[in-house]
Chains A and B, each alone.
Chain A
Amino acid sequence: MEFGWSDDQSAYRQRVKDVLADNLPEDWEERAVHGPGSTPVTKFSFEFCKTLAAQNLLIPHWPVEYGGSATQPWNHFILGEEAWQVGEPRGPQYMNVNWIGPVLMRYATAEQQARYLPPITNGNVIWCQGFSEPSAGSDLASLRTKAEKVEGGYVVNGAKVWTSFATHADQCFLLARSGSGKEGIMILLVDMKSAGIQVKQIPALIGEGDIHEFFLTDVFVPEQNCLGAEGQAWEIISYALQNERIGIARYAFARRVLDGVIEELKADGRFDDPVIQDRAGRVLAKVEAARMMVYRVVDERAKEQPASAYGSLARYILVQADHAVADFVLEFMPSGMLGGDPLQQAHHQRALYSGIGAGAAEIQLNLAARRYLGLPSENTRGL
């Protein structure tokens, strides 16, 4: 066991910090408050991701044959920590490099890879994920969007909701149903400019650009846009979600906000208050616990071990930490939420979402109970 960073990792982190410092505009924090899916951050992401790509920092963990540097997984995570900590200047494109690209590398045909991967590696495309539906949220397998086989492809009808980044998205990783059960689910890579797609942003507590609904009316999707073999979609979705669950270094942003609030409390002469010290220490423990839990999952990946339910356990701890920081700020430094600190507001909005997106926290507990603890299924009967 070893809980420190190697010299190479420290140097890599410094390099990332330098690139961020050199390339973020002076008004970045004001822009970042609007969230990764907002118009200003999304627009900036095209500029910033190209800069990262030019410095081999956009997809460093990808294999060389796909344009990456095959750097160790820890470096990719260090990059994610630093980026999320400053408000995620990669905007929606963090999702491309975290899981859209890796899923395509694993499951897409050569033709699909040739079409979809270069825009990601160039920092030039926005993806959204068409998973949730009005009647299929946590119970994703009950989705109803229908894909009907026609000559040369599929005609898709249905509705998706809670979709992040949809306004600006060029492509959608869409789940639809061509049959019954989990086996009847399929994945279609859909051009969001296709005829029959209507996107509507839903005003939300969590900022601009993160929640949409969109409707698909007789949308034609060519058959070459179908990802994976028949009946393989659930396996692909599970793989994607495993990457998504702890892919965002939420504790890093939470720690930055906590450190900032403590500095303000010190400046106000309030840090000597033992109540504040007590609460701050407890919140700090939650944040550092989340860091260690996530590192444990990254270590698993770095060693190329199969993904386990530990990610669900880590995700739950991460959500608790994010909320603990947000609540600490509300209680002891609420002025930040009233125009005093755009980052505090941004963090509050991200924290609100952290236990809902990419599988609700309670779903993570279900998964951890069954797959990590080995507790019996709710259908078990006897005695």
Chain B
Amino acid sequence: MDFEQNENQTAILGGLEQLIAGLQVEAPKEGVLVAFSTRLDAELEASGFLDIAREAEFTLLDSALVVERLARLPVSAEVAFSALVGPLFPTDTVQRPFALVTANPLSPARFLTVARTLLVDKGDELLVIDVDPSQVEEVESLFAYPYGKLASLEGMAVRRMGADLATGVRRRWRLALAVEGSGLMQSAIDTVIEHVTNRYQFNRPLGSFQAIQHRLATAAGTQQSARWLALRAAWSDSEADCALAASYLQDSIPTIVYDLHQFCGAMGLTLEFPLHFWTYRLKAMLGDLGGSSAQARAAAIATWQDAA
């Protein structure tokens, strides 16, 4: 049991910090709903950070730490699926970026506007679709991710894979949710702490009021819980741990997002304030994989169904 980064992890995250610093990643100055960085996405792919889990000397947990760190940026790239789901496939059999949907391949999916592969979880099988960009329609939404949907499957290669791979993808999707979500929560909390420390009302900083302190401390406890559950899931890669971590994350999103916006008042409703770059990505995750109840039931079944 060791909660500190090992040498490999420190080296990986150090290298990642250098890449981030070199790209000078920052929140868009203009008010936008969606902040996706094509440049960040390309640099991450080229630098190999998204393939860490494929390397013998590294682990899925190392890759999860990369996902968590990148989630804390105000701009998104297709990271979590590539880094955590992608390694389930043999090298060069699928191309990133990925988009994932449940059941219906024509459903709106985040990252589909840039994706080269769409994975469709149909329960007992997995569809692997090589995306034809000409069939992708952009979908406008409040969510801070780019969204698209396929107009049809016409002309696209669709591979049908078995239940084992479908189960594996679902497990790693849960892991991706949990890891990325905990990183998003951390940056959202940091943003709000800065706001309530500097914003004065009634001659006091907002953050000096106990009503706000208690809810922010609760949010911090929730975020840390989500983080350790997610990292444990990355370490074990078990059905139960991944479902449990995703369940906890999704279960926590409504309260945390509500509170964080509440504490920023009207400022938190504006696009010039960066909070939505994290909270609206969290909102997008709420409905993934059937929502928190589906993950909770999956965790319960994985934990107890087969127990004697």
Contacts and interface: CB of A to CB of B under 8 A. Distances in A.
A382 B248 CA distance: 39
A292 B225 contact: yes
Interface string B221-233: 1101110110110
A293 B297 contact: no
Interface in A257-294: 259, 262-263, 266, 271, 274, 277-282, 284-286, 288-290, 292-293
B235 to A, nearest CB: 5
A136 B2 CA distance: 39
Contacts of B243: 281
Contact of A292 (B232, B293, B301): B232
By size class, the interface of chain B is 35 or more
A1 B304 contact: no
B296 A281 contact: yes
Interface stretch (A154-162, A239-247, A341-349, A369-377): A369-377
Contacts of A296: 3, 224, 228
Interface stretch (A3-11, A107-115, A181-189, A198-206): A3-11
Interface string B121-163: 0000000000000000000000000000000000000000000
B300 A284 contact: yes
B196 interface: yes
Contacts of B205: 375-376, 380
Nearest to A74: B1
Contacts of B232: 3, 292
Interface of B: 1-6, 9, 61, 65, 193, 196-197, 200, 203-205, 207-210, 212-214, 216-218, 220-222, 224-226, 228-229, 231-232, 235-236, 243-245, 247-248, 251, 292-293, 295-301, 303-305, 307
B296 A293 contact: no
A313 B61 contact: no
A317 interface: yes
Nearest to A381: B203
- By DSSP majority rule, is chain A's interface helix, strand, loop, or mixed? helix
B300 A278 contact: yes
A244 to B, nearest CB: 18
A317 B1 contact: no
Contacts, number: 173
Contacts of A383: 200, 203
B299 A1 contact: no
The residue among B196, B197, B213, B298 with the most chain A CB atoms within 10 A of its own CB is: B213
Interface of A: 1-5, 9, 74, 259, 262-263, 266, 271, 274, 277-282, 284-286, 288-290, 292-293, 295-296, 298-300, 303, 310, 313-314, 316-317, 362, 364-366, 368-370, 372-383
Contacts of B203: 381-383
A278 B297 contact: yes
25 contacts: A1-B9, A2-B2, A3-B235, A4-B1, A271-B304, A271-B305, A279-B296, A281-B297, A285-B247, A288-B244, A289-B229, A292-B228, A293-B228, A296-B224, A300-B3, A366-B210, A368-B220, A369-B217, A375-B207, A375-B213, A376-B208, A378-B208, A380-B208, A381-B204, A382-B203
B229 A365 contact: no
B225 A378 contact: no
B220 A373 contact: yes
Contact of B244 (A281, A293, A364): A281
Nearest to B293: A278
Contacts of B301: 277
Contact of B3 (A1, A271, A365): A1
B228 A378 contact: no
Identify the 10 closest CB pairs spanning chains A and B, nearest first: A281-B296, A289-B225, A369-B213, A292-B228, A281-B300, A383-B200, A368-B217, A285-B248, A281-B299, A375-B207
A84 to B, nearest CB: 18
The residue among A280, A282, A285, A293 with the most chain B CB atoms within 10 A of its own CB is: A285
Given A285-B244, A289-B229, A317-B221, A262 B304 contact: yes
A313 B296 contact: no
B217 A313 contact: yes
Contacts of B305: 271
B296 A278 contact: yes
Contact of A289 (B196, B218, B228, B307): B228
A277 B243 CA distance: 13
Contact of A372 (B217, B222, B296): B217
A285 B235 contact: no
Given A369-B216, A382-B200, A282 B228 contact: no
Contacts of B5: 1
A317 B221 CA distance: 7
A295 B296 CA distance: 23
A210 B219 CA distance: 32
B296 A375 contact: no
Contacts of A369: 207, 210, 213-214, 216-217
Nearest to A299: B3
Given A281-B298, A292-B229, A370-B213, A3 B1 contact: yes
Contacts of A364: 217
B4 A303 contact: yes
Contact of B207 (A289, A300, A316, A376): A376
A313 B221 contact: yes
Nearest to B193: A373
Contacts of A382: 200, 203-204
B182 to A, nearest CB: 11
B221 A316 contact: yes
Contact of B1 (A2, A366, A376): A2
A282 B251 contact: yes
A288 B4 contact: no
A251 to B, nearest CB: 11
